[in-house]
Amino acid sequence: MIKKVLIILTITSLLSSCATYKPSNVNDLCSILSEEDWYESALDSQEEWGTPLHVQLAIMHQESKFNRTIRPDMEWFLGFIPIGRPSDAYGYAQALESTWETYIRSTGNWNAKRDEFDDAIHFIGWYTFQSHKKLGISKWDAKAQYLAYHEGWGGYKRGTYRSKSWLLRVSEKVKRRSLEYARQYKRCRPQLDDNIRGWF
């Protein structure tokens, strides 16, 4: 009996660690893209939507720290009664279910999943492209792109972020992260490109 319980606990632990696995250094773009073999997907999204990969990855870093199964924290009544989560955001991009469905209908990417990096980075590329198209935000402007990503296109247009000092501080962090990722990418791009060519 004890042996069975230990086996179940071991399997549960392994499944849990797989579910929450993320790159070992989420602050280093070179490490993220080489360790996870995500470079080609990030490049594909950049080429299709025009948003630099360092901007897309800075947004993803802020949203999930590259944790594929993350959700908003559970809210509690009286400290011990669960009353649900504040939203149904999920996955690498922390996309809402309704926005994800809009993305799927728009792109025809019917098998897309929020906990798959390829799909999540493509979603961020698509979203930032729409923000550029609808709101005129430069695809290189990580701060404004993040504000539109967080507040939605309607919220950004109404300027809802202006009364949220905490969000403005976060958007500055995303901007700084994007610039740092861009510097890192410049350093390791030749090696990343060589790795892709090595597959052919």
Is the residue at 183 inside a domain? yes
Does residue 169 contact residue 186 with C-beta atoms inside 8 Å? Answer: no
E strands in 38-178: 75-77, 81-84
Please check whether residue 6 lies inside any domain of the structure.
no
Full domain range(s) for residue 94: 23-197
What is the full per-residue pLDDT of the chain (200 aa) written as tens digits? Answer: 554 433 433 444 444 434 446 888 999 999 999 888 899 999 999 999 999 999 999 999 999 999 998 765 545 455 555 544 445 589 999 999 999 999 999 999 999 999 999 999 999 999 999 999 999 999 999 999 999 999 999 999 999 999 999 999 999 999 999 999 999 999 999 999 998 876 44
The pLDDT, as a whole number, for residue 190 is 95
User: Which CATH number belongs to the domain containing residue 69 in this structure?
Assistant: 1.10.530.10
If one counts the domains in the chain, the total is 1
C-alpha span between 152 and 158 (Å, rounded): 10
Q: CA-CA distance, 2 to 35, in Å (whole number)?
A: 38
Residue 8 belongs to a domain? no
Q: Is residue 147 a contact partner of residue 138, using CB atoms and an 8 Å limit? A: no
Given a contact cutoff of 8 angstroms between Cβ atoms, the answer to whether 181 and 140 are in contact is no
- pLDDT, residue 195, reads 84
